[in-house]
Amino acid sequence: MQPIQDAFPLLQTPKKIFITTHHKPDGDAIGSMLALYHYLTKKGHNVTPVSPGEIPDFLNWMPGVGNMLNYEEHPKESLSALAECDIIFCVDFNDFSRTKHLTQQLADAPQPKILIDHHLFPAPVWDYGISIPEKSSACEMVYDFINLNQDNKLIDLEMAACLYTGLMMDTGSFRFPVTTASVHAMAADLKHRGLDHTRIHEEVYDSWSEGRMRFLGYVLIEKMEVFRKYNSAIITLSRKDMNLFKVQNGDTEGLVNYPLSISGIKFATLITERCDEVKLSFRSKGNFDVSKFARQYFDGGGHFNASGGRTKTNFIDTIVYFKKILSDIHPQ
Ligand code: 5GP
Ligand code: MN
């Protein structure tokens, strides 16, 4: 992969640009994709942002969402945008399979591909790009990319809102260890432009339905198991649980973080039964590397303190297997 600066000459004249991100996108995925969309559009390009799937309701307010294609709703338009583009940007993921539906199409696409990402171990499939696992978020990296182009003054309130959303969400509202001084400096820069950070926080975190709040209560009482011996806790959600509470897309967001608020709990896992697989989300405080854990046991990856994985083993057997691993490895 050549440094991202080497791709700048490609962007000197107006181009058709396709941007995508990972499946089940979060605020950093959509925020970085839309911020880049606004920026490249301002630079005179014709840009199509494509989400591989549905986005959660709490991100529906984001500037530019209306110009984005959801592959699951519009597969034909999404694929023709890909076929017709001159350049492909990929943000907030580093392996084509993370897009689920676009895996093969991206692999087969002949156009130059540019990566902007902060996950470990990028697949060797990009022509140009920047991959820095120490960075808080893809949004911070899009901001750096804009500055590298000496275009800081082009950042408007719409771009600022997109960038801030990913920065806020991927740093756990500025509390995770990835929250560097540069993260705060970026937030300050956005704030100087008139960013309404309170509104963004409310849109993302205080827009729950009553049902979602009651579902959280149920989950914490009935579905969380704490293993003091292993400094760990798990939350297990079957399809039946989710149907009972009519759980919507995005309603399980953030659940995995709750056990880490218990003193002494260093490792939290959410095991969710999906139609075609079982999804696992891992979070840790301190020195337990959940990225390594996800890679080793659940075909996954991510970051040191936040990762995910999946398995085709059924839900009940996955829970049994997970508990066995826990007793074998004794997370500290
Ligand atoms: P989440 O638990 O929120 O789905 O994911 C947490 C982090 O782990 C995110 O940065 C996400 O990109 C990464 N992640 C989640 N699932 C997978 C996976 O199956 N494979 C890889 N490589 N990373 C994942
Ligand atoms: Mn991210």
Tens of each residue's pLDDT in the chain, 332 residues: 999 999 999 999 999 999 999 999 999 999 999 999 999 999 999 999 999 999 999 999 999 999 999 999 999 999 999 999 999 999 999 999 999 999 999 999 999 999 999 999 999 999 999 999 999 999 999 999 999 999 999 999 999 999 999 999 999 999 999 999 999 999 999 999 999 999 999 999 999 999 999 999 999 999 999 999 999 999 999 999 999 998 887 889 899 999 999 999 999 999 999 999 999 999 999 999 999 999 999 999 999 999 999 999 999 999 999 999 999 998 87
User: Nearest C-alpha to atom 15 of ligand 1 is from which residue?
Assistant: 308
Same domain? For 304 and 176 the reply is no
Same domain? For 184 and 49 the reply is yes
Residue 225's CATH number:
3.10.310.30
Q: What is the largest CA-CA distance in the chain?
A: 60
User: Nearest C-alpha to atom 8 of ligand 1 is from which residue?
Assistant: 307
222 alpha carbon to ligand 2 midpoint, in Å? 30
Q: Model-level pTM?
A: 0.94
Same domain? For 80 and 168 the reply is yes
User: Nearest C-alpha to atom 2 of ligand 1 is from which residue?
Assistant: 281
265 alpha carbon to ligand 1 midpoint, in Å? 21
Same domain? For 13 and 119 the reply is yes
Question: Is 56 a pocket residue for ligand 1 (Cβ < 6 Å)?
Answer: no
Q: What is the pLDDT of residue 299?
A: 95
Contacts of 230 (CB under 8 A, 6+ apart): 267, 326, 327, 330, 331
9 alpha carbon to ligand 1 midpoint, in Å? 33
Closest ligand by atom to 295 CA: 1
The ligand 1 atom nearest the CA atom of 282: 2
Q: What is the pLDDT of residue 248?
A: 83
Beta-strand ranges (E) seen in the chain are 2-3, 16-20, 46-51, 69-70, 87-91, 113-117, 128-131, 224-227, 232-237, 267-273, 278-284, 301-302, 306-311
Question: Is 122 a pocket residue for ligand 1 (Cβ < 6 Å)?
Answer: no
Closest ligand by atom to 22 CA: 1
User: Nearest C-alpha to atom 18 of ligand 1 is from which residue?
Assistant: 300
- Which of 55, 98, 135, 136 should be mutated for ligand 1, with most atoms under 8 A from CB? 98
Same domain? For 84 and 216 the reply is no
Q: Which of 184, 205, 226 is the last residue of a domain?
A: 205
Same domain? For 30 and 153 the reply is yes
Angle between helices 157-170 and 138-148 (to 10 degrees): 140
Same domain? For 227 and 198 the reply is no
User: Nearest C-alpha to atom 7 of ligand 1 is from which residue?
Assistant: 307
Same domain? For 215 and 199 the reply is no
Q: What is the pLDDT of residue 255?
A: 97
Question: Is 306 a pocket residue for ligand 1 (Cβ < 6 Å)?
Answer: yes
139 alpha carbon to ligand 1 midpoint, in Å? 16
CA dihedral of 129, 133, 137, 142, whole degrees rounded to 10: -20
307 alpha carbon to ligand 1 midpoint, in Å? 5
Question: Is 281 a pocket residue for ligand 1 (Cβ < 6 Å)?
Answer: yes
Q: What is the pLDDT of residue 330?
A: 86
Same domain? For 116 and 235 the reply is no
Q: What is the pLDDT of residue 224?
A: 98
Structure tokens given for 317: 């057997």
The domain of 311 spans: 210-329
Contacts of 10 (CB under 8 A, 6+ apart): 86, 87, 112
Q: What is the pLDDT of residue 250?
A: 82
Same domain? For 168 and 236 the reply is no
Question: Is 94 a pocket residue for ligand 1 (Cβ < 6 Å)?
Answer: no
Q: Which of 186, 205, 224 is the last residue of a domain?
A: 205
DSSP code at position 221: I
The ligand 1 atom nearest the CA atom of 28: 10
CA distance linking residue 295 with residue 153, whole number of Å: 41
300 alpha carbon to ligand 2 midpoint, in Å? 15
Same domain? For 93 and 216 the reply is no
Q: What is the pLDDT of residue 331?
A: 86
